[in-house]
């Protein structure tokens, strides 16, 4: 492609900004990033409270966050944040140690079995499911892998045939059942469901295992995690500052028309002309949102194939509260509540996060899911109240809510559409209307998978 190609990037979150970085590194300098909000970072949102930044969105990374590391190197920054740690409570608010055999004498046989199954899952992922952990979902539904190895920072291109990969279309609980590793869900659920990515009986195994590949999951278990002192938003603010063309903020896109090999974007009332457009913003949102976010099919001249495919996308209703507590009620550590990670406990507090251990004048943040594919959504206000009540039950009552949001979170498709080849159909459309699709749904809803997908998109098409 001509290096002077005029490229419009929709969205100034991790996917859009890293697309800018990788394009620039490849010699494409004629790009424009349009961001609808007055800040960059998207779901990496780190506001300030009492002089320190806390996390309303993304919190942590792991050492295999190679794309995030590319960004750190590009900007000369590093993961310099507080060390994380956690404990566990039951839904009655008692501290428990679910993985400590001495505290769970009756559960020793189950714990031993679980350990064996974790080992087995690690082995079959490397053998039977070879190729499972490349970024993105190309070929999985057809029993192929095609992408870039995530085994080390080099990320060599790899591809091959492996019919077993079709099992990744199944919901994760079913995938575990057919492989005799059901108890591994006791481990995977912590960094999965409580992080808002849905329930194992509804989410295809591909999402679970591409995000929580064996190494990554073990990093969570061993609390081998990265954080950033000034928050995850700082990574993307830094990247924005280091780009030749920082994102244009407060850019409301009213219309996108693609005709005669050109892309016409109406932004804040002015028509701008580009040659290509990369969309990292939501492709489809099935309901009306109070924050005004819309799917691209609503403001683009969406074609029938785009509408048909993108209307299959759903997302998680994931709510975050930032609360103050009285000093005497402040938690001494972050807590996970496994009993509340079951769909029967929809809307309850699953985890609460205490970021700074040297002070009690900082907020804690709470996390709850309020939708499962097969059940009625718990209304926002009801969920908010349940979470505040749960904090009382946990002996850490809130004195004040200082920030809150209900996030457009983890767009994905369900097993049937995944198995019907949704990803291969969308991948075949890349570039067709001078349009490229990136961002969370194309890989997975975390900072690194989205930035990595942008890296590979640039590698593959530009
Ligand atoms: C509570 C929470 C906890 C999380 N924890 C972690 C974690 O610990 N680790 C991790 O790696 N990830 C975590 N994530 C996920 C991570 O933040 C996201 O996966 C990542 O930010 C996705 O990047 P993105 O660029 O694809 O999308 P986004 O971050 O959503 O960015 C999209 C951008 O597009 C903009 N936009 C939308 N529509 C338009 C439009 N029409 N025109 C212009 N701009 C538009 C948005 O304003 C936004 O800035 C968490 C997220 C949340 C909410």
Residue 447: name the closest of 102, 67, 39, 156 by CA: 67
pLDDT of residue 432: 97
State the closest ligand 1 atom to the C-alpha of 37, by its place in the atom list counted from 1. Answer: 47
What are the residue ranges spanned by the domains of the chain? 7-45+230-313+413-461, 110-221
CB 377 within 8 A of CB 317: yes
Query: Is pLDDT at 101 greater than 90 in this prediction?
Result: no
Q: Give tens-digit pLDDT for 39-96.
A: 999 999 999 999 999 999 999 999 999 999 999 999 999 999 999 999 999 999 999 9
pLDDT of residue 182: 98
Task: Give just the sign of the alpha carbon dihedral 368, 370, 372, 373.
Answer: negative
Query: Is pLDDT at 151 greater than 90 in this prediction?
Result: no
Query: Is pLDDT at 433 greater than 90 in this prediction?
Result: yes
E-strand ranges in 204-329 read 253-259, 262-267, 270-274, 276-279, 314-324
194 lines ligand 1 (CB under 6 A): no
Specify the 3-state DSSP secondary structure of 87: strand
Q: Is 11 left (phi over 0), alpha (psi -120 to 50) or beta?
A: left
Q: Which of 10, 32, 58 to mutate to test the pocket of ligand 1 (most atoms within 8 A of CB)?
A: 58
What is the Å distance from ligand 1's center to 212 Cα?
A: 18
What is the Å distance from ligand 1's center to 419 Cα?
A: 26
Q: Give tens-digit pLDDT for 305-343.
A: 999 999 999 999 999 999 999 999 999 999 999 999 999
Report the CATH number of the 110-221 domain. Answer: 1.10.405.20
12 lines ligand 1 (CB under 6 A): yes
Lowest-pLDDT choice from 23-27, 245-249, 366-370, 375-379: 375-379
- 349: how many CB neighbours lie within 10 A of its CB? 26
Q: Give tens-digit pLDDT for 214-223.
A: 999 999 999 9
pLDDT of residue 455: 98
Give the closest residue (by CA) to ligand 1 atom 2. 57
What is the Å distance from ligand 1's center to 107 Cα?
A: 39
* Matching fold, domains 7-45+230-313+413-461 and 110-221: no
pTM of the model: 0.97
What is the Å distance from ligand 1's center to 191 Cα?
A: 18
411 lines ligand 1 (CB under 6 A): no
| Neighbour-count burial for 11-37, b at 16+ CB within 10 Å, e otherwise | bbbbbbbbbbbbbbeeebeebbbbbbb
Query: Is pLDDT at 144 greater than 90 in this prediction?
Result: yes
State the closest ligand 1 atom to the C-alpha of 14, by its place in the atom list counted from 1. Answer: 25
Report the CATH number of the 7-45+230-313+413-461 domain. Answer: 3.50.50.60
Strand 314-324 to strand 276-279: parallel, antiparallel, or no bridges (unpaired)? Answer: unpaired
pLDDT of residue 378: 97
Query: Is pLDDT at 233 greater than 90 in this prediction?
Result: yes
11 lines ligand 1 (CB under 6 A): yes
- Tokens 């290509």 belong to 276
Q: For all residues of the chain together, what is the average pLDDT?
A: 97
């Amino acid at each position: 492609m001509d290096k002077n190609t005029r490229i419009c990037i929709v969205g100034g979150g991790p996917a859009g900004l890293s697309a800018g970085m990788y394009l620039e590194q490849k010699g494409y300098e004629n790009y424009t990033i349009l961001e609808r909000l007055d800040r960059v970072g998207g779901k990496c949102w780190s506001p300030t409270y009492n002089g320190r930044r806390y996390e309303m969105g993304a919190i942590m990374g792991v050492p295999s966050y190679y794309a995030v590391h590319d960004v750190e190197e590009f900007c000369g920054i590093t993961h310099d944040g507080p060390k994380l740690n956690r404990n566990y409570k039951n839904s009655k608010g008692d501290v428990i140690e679910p993985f400590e055999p001495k505290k769970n004498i009756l559960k020793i046989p189950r714990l031993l079995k679980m350990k064996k199954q974790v080992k087995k899952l690690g082995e079959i992922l490397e053998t039977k499911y070879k190729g499972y952990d490349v970024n993105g979902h190309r070929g999985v539904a057809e029993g192929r892998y095609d992408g870039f190895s995530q085994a080390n920072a080099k990320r060599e291109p790899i591809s091959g045939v492996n019919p077993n990969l079709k099992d990744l279309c199944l919901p994760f609980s079913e995938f575990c059942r057919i492989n005799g590793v059901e108890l591994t869900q006791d481990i995977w659920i912590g960094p999965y469901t409580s992080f808002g990515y849905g329930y194992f009986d509804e989410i295809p195994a591909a999402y679970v295992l591409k995000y929580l590949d064996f190494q990554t999951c073990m990093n969570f278990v061993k609390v081998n995690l990265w954080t950033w002192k000034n928050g995850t938003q700082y990574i993307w603010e830094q990247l924005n500052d280091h780009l030749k063309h920082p994102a244009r903020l407060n850019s409301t896109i009213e219309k996108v028309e693609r005709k005669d090999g050109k892309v016409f974007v109406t932004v804040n009332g002015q028509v701008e002309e580009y040659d290509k457009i990369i969309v990292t913003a939501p492709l489809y949102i099935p309901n009306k949102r109070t924050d005004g976010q819309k799917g691209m099919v609503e403001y683009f001249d969406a074609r029938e194939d785009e509408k048909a495919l993108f209307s299959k996308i759903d997302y998680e209703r994931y709510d975050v509260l930032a609360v103050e507590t009285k000093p005497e009620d402040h938690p001494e550590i972050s807590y996970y509540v496994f009993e509340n990670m079951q769909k029967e406990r929809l809307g309850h507090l699953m985890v609460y996060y205490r970021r700074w251990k040297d002070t009690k004048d900082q907020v804690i943040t709470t996390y709850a899911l309020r939708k499962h594919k097969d059940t009625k959504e718990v209304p926002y206000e009801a969920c908010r109240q349940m979470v505040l009540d749960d904090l009382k039950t946990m002996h850490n009552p809130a004195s004040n809510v200082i920030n809150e949001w209900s996030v457009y979170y983890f767009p994905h498709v369900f097993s049937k559409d995944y198995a019907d080849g949704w990803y291969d159909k969308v991948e075949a459309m890349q570039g067709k209307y001078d349009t490229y699709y990136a961002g969370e749904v194309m890989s997975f809803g975390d900072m690194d998978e989205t930035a990595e997908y942008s890296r590979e998109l640039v590698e593959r098409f530009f």
